[in-house]
Amino acid sequence: MEINKNRNFSEKALKDFRLIDQAVIAKDQMAYAELMKRYKKPVYHMVLKMVRNVDDAEDLTIEAFSKAFKSLHRFKKDYTFSTWLFRIATNNAIDFIRKKKLRTISIHSSYKDDNGDAVEIDVEDKGNLTPQDRAIKDQRIELMRMFVDKLPAKYQRLVKLRYFQELSYEEIATELEAPLGTIKAQLHRSRELMRELITGKETQF
């Protein structure tokens, strides 16, 4: 497996490539173990954010590594191993959510891999969702509305403008006649309050 010379890979990524060669070519079981050791914790935490159940997250993490290792001989060094692995884990978790029809919520979350590339951790709306995907998305939005309604009024309006009407920060600042910096700070605070509500933590508004 040749490394893409056009990419400036980090030392961590290059170490992953060496481990992959040892695992695939030399059949080195310790190389597989080392790859899992390097990424099990971040994969687990990413999956946990999606399914919000520690037992399910643990199972899905093991499944993701199992799928990745079975396909490791097809891995191409055009991207980092972490990018490839996280996408496998993401797709695996999404399949689980679809099957279980779990109620999930997302506030445009993403994970950045070793090279700073964003790896989306939610179902993308490209305008051509299947009926099942649309039902999941609608359910997610409905659940999000439920939590938004528990926020103080000023945060409710900000969240609705940003995530339901999909206005930019600049458009929100114009709409509310407020400084851009204030809008960004209040939206950041509103996301924190939302996470606290979702995780069941008590908070003082």
What is the average per-residue pLDDT within 142-164?
Answer: 79
Write down the mean pLDDT value for the chain. 78
Return the minimum-mean-pLDDT range out of 35-39, 88-92, 140-144, 163-167. Answer: 140-144
Residues 6+ apart with CB under 8 A from 116: none
The answer to whether residues 32 and 23 touch, using CB atoms and an 8 Å cutoff, is: yes
CA distance 118 to 50: 16
pTM here is: 0.52
Domain residue ranges in the chain: 11-120, 149-199
How many degrees, rounded to 5, is the angle at CA 153 between CA 150 and CA 154? 125
What is the average per-residue pLDDT within 26-39?
Answer: 92
* 88-101 pLDDT tens trace: 998 888 888 887 76
Overall fold of domain 149-199:
Arc Repressor Mutant, subunit A (1.10.10)
Domain 11-120 has CATH 3.30.420.300: no
CA distance 64 to 51: 14
DSSP state of 63: H
Residue 63, class by beta-carbon neighbours within 10 Å (0-12 exposed, 13-18 middle, 19+ buried)?
A: middle
Count Cβ atoms below 10 Å from residue 189 Cβ, excluding itself. 15
The answer to whether residues 79 and 20 touch, using CB atoms and an 8 Å cutoff, is: no
Concatenating the DSSP letter of every residue in 87-126 gives HHHHHHHHHHHHHHT-----SS-EEE-TTS-EEE-S----
Q: Is 53 helix (H, G, I), strand (E, B) or coil?
A: coil
What is the average per-residue pLDDT within 167-185?
Answer: 88
* 48-100 pLDDT tens trace: 888 888 888 899 999 999 999 999 999 988 889 998 999 899 888 888 888 77
